[in-house]
Chains A and B, each alone.
Chain A
């Protein structure tokens, strides 16, 4: 009976509050609701989130936000992340966090700890993109006054893409209170986007001034809209001052965009180049220095990538450091496999390049199939948090962190390898053996050992390349296949037996590919690069940086 009564009160309250909204009282009259009732109302509104369709859920979210209760932000955020569940027994809405042995539950409204529950006692409140968009919009408005600068920035960015005249007051207040310049500028842009719709010419002009130099796509769209013409070719915008200023701003923005586009292509190219460099640098040792056509080079990369996966599987708690652990591990695994291959197969085939080619091709198939027997699927390699996301320079220019790290890593590997070859005893012996085996032997170098170590080094470096590429591409049995051709291309183009040549070839090919790609498309771009290399090799058969000196065979 009591329950019924409460229910009746709820219904009454909701109808009162909704009529209040519908009629939109002109004198900003607020209906005072006592604290207890607020909680009851909130409970009711939260329960409504567990609706049957996505449209109903979206409406429930909008209704919940209307309550203007400070407690809703965590609920909205939880719902966006798919952490909102309802208890099967009494439909209580809870926030659930996956823990050992089930889900840790907290009451969505009161925040009280409800202990750990089994997954079959709770039901997820599903959301789709539509609900998520509504949630993001409301979260952004609430977070515009957050104490965290980054949250405010993201909030402002979200609102910028779709500003709402009703938010003007909130925005003006937020703009005044904003301590950081970056966010303040964004909020000014949002207000400018609202102002540009104004019927007052001066307000529109001011809005345009505020848009100076902005490269946010939505803002550019606004400016372009002013310059739209009707069928007879006249501006729809009546004021000539406004169109003239819009023309001026737009041409300035266009110059800026062109420059950014150029930077973007160049950096994309260097990034592609660094991946090519990593893939090819091991081959520059085995093929370039030793002269072994190692078709199993790609599989060494694959082994390195799988090692990364294994490290992540064995030490799930060290996910952030998994790549750092994987680098030496991958070097050892691939290096060891390399040494074994050299000792068992390749050393019997020195001086017979065609036989080596066939033998290593066979080894590559064997390795692929071995991996496939273990698991024929791609395996998921996790990107650690510090490598995810992108560095946003401005709205038109951003670079993903994983590419930046790989670029730095590739340079480090190159420098490290160069130092090893030039400055260490091992490096000296390697160069001695490859340049003149008989002489090196007679100087007391055990050339057999050096061969094995050199091949192991090349393979090990392919292994650490595998750690890097596991962050940008799929890790599966075919991984090596997609790199082997590019690797040979780089080494041959750069000049066999020359690390610096490999570096310039990789970077050059990367940049050329990336400048061609937007112009002619990916497929044609790739073909053009291949044709270019074929022609180049015709005229300079020894590549970019040909070795000179008497030890070069003719």
Chain B
């Protein structure tokens, strides 16, 4: 009881503070919540996305805002602490009353936010490639689903241009994204006629720094006379020692190419990339892509951040697409009310940065082109292969038997569900 009084007292104090802040603010604004870690492990990646949202807001305000109102950013710092993500979401939705949230990076942070946005009916734009197997009414997934990154990357390596790879090492950090992705990839490879003995799956802990044994084993696995490739879902910090060991052990991209799903321009700027030329990355955007929209975006980013050396990357593009789609939907709906905006989102088309169009699908995913790039000596990625046009994001993969029968459609009123079982014709509710 004492605790309750203390808490409610604090809440009261906060409300008063917020209220006085309101009073001093210009009449009315549209509030945009920014939920990215600015401290802790994930700050490396997430700070950039916070800046991207701020840049988009600034540009929108220069164009006269939205619905005649200015946009106002509410930045919070969940500090790479997963439970704190949920608390900060509650703060954004209940206290700050934001109209939309852009945020999260790791899947575990998204999973922690999920119950809160669903309970308080918020709207979250999640800008990072992820493992799929999810579709919430309150979340739009602007990054790639597995079929927009992992599957095409494997297809490329199996093709003649990619080296006709026959043997696979699935190397990942031990958490939900690599485990799910590798489960999907294993099923996919088996369905393509790859023998079980030709697939090796391994996990290492977060921040693993001693890669001697793993690299020696990859080398051995790769010397069985069949062309071998490594599909890496190794997470951020462990990548530098991994690639360093590969380079020093003389594993060149020509012998055993490594295709990574979480290494982009931002991560490469922390590498000495000269020994890594030819290793691959699969994304929906590369900074090196030549298009007018991209050139303008890079110019805007350099001006905003005040540093010409800063790179752009895929999650930034996803943030860009998500933000523009939301703006367009709000303009269409003429309100920021979550349910109305959500309805207005479906079918919205916004240009992406690689010269194509991103369309919002009823399963809350987007259409995206898939690009495979090779690492260059200057730390950029050059496109060596891309899909013809955009690939629609698939929330539930077709390569796991239990997921293949599940679909997601929030537009069709008859289904109106994120995980609808087409066999039992039942919806298993929200992702709680």
In the complex, how many residues of chain B place their beta carbon closer than 8 angstroms to a beta carbon of chain A? Answer: 56
Task: Say yes or no: B272 contacts A383, CB within 8 Å.
Answer: yes
Task: Say yes or no: A54 contacts B384, CB within 8 Å.
Answer: yes
Closest to A161 in B: B255
Task: Say yes or no: A129 contacts B278, CB within 8 Å.
Answer: yes
* 14 further interface pairs, Cβ-Cβ under 8 Å (given A400-B249, A523-B203): A126-B384, A130-B162, A217-B220, A217-B223, A217-B225, A218-B223, A376-B43, A389-B248, A390-B250, A403-B212, A476-B44, A476-B270, A521-B202, A522-B208
How far in angstroms is the closest Cβ of chain B from A380? 5
Known A473-B241, A478-B237, A482-B207: A377·B225 in contact at CB below 8 Å? no
Task: Say yes or no: A82 contacts B209, CB within 8 Å.
Answer: no
B residues near A250, Cβ cutoff 8 Å: none
The verdict on A458 contacting chain B, using a C-beta distance below 8 Å, is: no
Closest to B215 in A: A400
A522 CA / B273 CA spacing, docked (Å):
26
Task: Say yes or no: B382 contacts A398, CB within 8 Å.
Answer: no
The verdict on A168 contacting chain B, using a C-beta distance below 8 Å, is: no
Task: List the 8 closest A-B pairs by CB distance, nearest first.
Answer: A378-B270, A217-B223, A474-B240, A400-B248, A221-B225, A473-B209, A473-B241, A128-B384
B residues near A388, Cβ cutoff 8 Å: 247-248, 275
Chain A interface residues toward B at CB < 8 A: 54-55, 82, 126, 128-130, 132-133, 136, 217-218, 221, 264-265, 268, 271-272, 275, 369, 372, 376-383, 388-390, 392, 398, 400-403, 469, 471-478, 481-482, 513-514, 517-518, 521-523, 526
B residues near A403, Cβ cutoff 8 Å: 212
A164 CA / B183 CA spacing, docked (Å):
38
Task: Say yes or no: B212 contacts A369, CB within 8 Å.
Answer: no
Task: Say yes or no: A474 contacts B241, CB within 8 Å.
Answer: yes
Task: Say yes or no: A472 contacts B244, CB within 8 Å.
Answer: yes
Contact residues of A: prevailing secondary structure: helix
Task: Say yes or no: B270 contacts A377, CB within 8 Å.
Answer: yes
Task: Say yes or no: B209 contacts A381, CB within 8 Å.
Answer: no
A48 CA / B163 CA spacing, docked (Å):
22
Closest to B372 in A: A128
Task: Say yes or no: A522 contacts B217, CB within 8 Å.
Answer: no
Interface CB pairs A-B, < 8 A, 9 = A218-B225, A376-B44, A377-B269, A378-B271, A383-B244, A390-B249, A398-B250, A478-B44, A481-B207
B residues near A377, Cβ cutoff 8 Å: 44, 266, 269-270
Of A82, A218, A376, A469, the contact of B47 (CB 8 Å cutoff): A376
A residues near B174, Cβ cutoff 8 Å: 523
A469 CA / B209 CA spacing, docked (Å):
10
Task: Say yes or no: A55 contacts B270, CB within 8 Å.
Answer: no
Chain B interface residues toward A at CB < 8 A: 39, 41, 43-44, 47, 160-163, 174, 202-205, 207-210, 212-214, 216-217, 220, 223-225, 237, 239-241, 244-245, 247-250, 253-254, 257, 266-267, 269-273, 275, 277-278, 374, 376-377, 379, 382, 384
B residues near A376, Cβ cutoff 8 Å: 43-44, 47
Known A129-B278, A376-B47, A523-B204: A517·B213 in contact at CB below 8 Å? yes
A residues near B266, Cβ cutoff 8 Å: 377
B residues near A128, Cβ cutoff 8 Å: 161, 278, 374, 384
How far in angstroms is the closest Cβ of chain B from A152? 17
A residues near B253, Cβ cutoff 8 Å: 129, 132
| A to B contact number (C-beta, < 8 Å) | 147
How far in angstroms is the closest Cβ of chain A from B413? 45
Task: Say yes or no: A275 contacts B210, CB within 8 Å.
Answer: yes
How far in angstroms is the closest Cβ of chain A from B244? 6
B residues near A392, Cβ cutoff 8 Å: 250
A residues near B374, Cβ cutoff 8 Å: 128-129
Task: Say yes or no: B47 contacts A130, CB within 8 Å.
Answer: no
A residues near B213, Cβ cutoff 8 Å: 265, 268, 514, 517-518, 522
Known A82-B377, A132-B254, A521-B203: A380·B249 in contact at CB below 8 Å? no
Known A380-B272, A518-B217: A400·B223 in contact at CB below 8 Å? no
How far in angstroms is the closest Cβ of chain A from B335? 37
B residues near A389, Cβ cutoff 8 Å: 248, 250
Closest to B46 in A: A376
How far in angstroms is the closest Cβ of chain B from A15? 27
A517 CA / B205 CA spacing, docked (Å):
12
B residues near A275, Cβ cutoff 8 Å: 210
A residues near B47, Cβ cutoff 8 Å: 376
A450 CA / B28 CA spacing, docked (Å):
63
Of A129, A474, A518, the contact of B237 (CB 8 Å cutoff): A474
* Residue of B209, B244, B248 with most partner-chain A CB within 10 A: B248
B residues near A265, Cβ cutoff 8 Å: 213
Task: Say yes or no: B207 contacts A478, CB within 8 Å.
Answer: yes
A400 CA / B223 CA spacing, docked (Å):
19
A residues near B377, Cβ cutoff 8 Å: 82
Task: Say yes or no: B163 contacts A129, CB within 8 Å.
Answer: yes
A residues near B210, Cβ cutoff 8 Å: 272, 275, 472, 513
Task: Say yes or no: A268 contacts B216, CB within 8 Å.
Answer: yes
Closest to B311 in A: A377
How far in angstroms is the closest Cβ of chain A from B75? 15
Task: Say yes or no: A130 contacts B163, CB within 8 Å.
Answer: yes
Task: Say yes or no: A268 contacts B240, CB within 8 Å.
Answer: no
Closest to B244 in A: A472
Of A218, A400, A513, A521, the contact of B245 (CB 8 Å cutoff): A400
Task: Say yes or no: B225 contacts A378, CB within 8 Å.
Answer: no
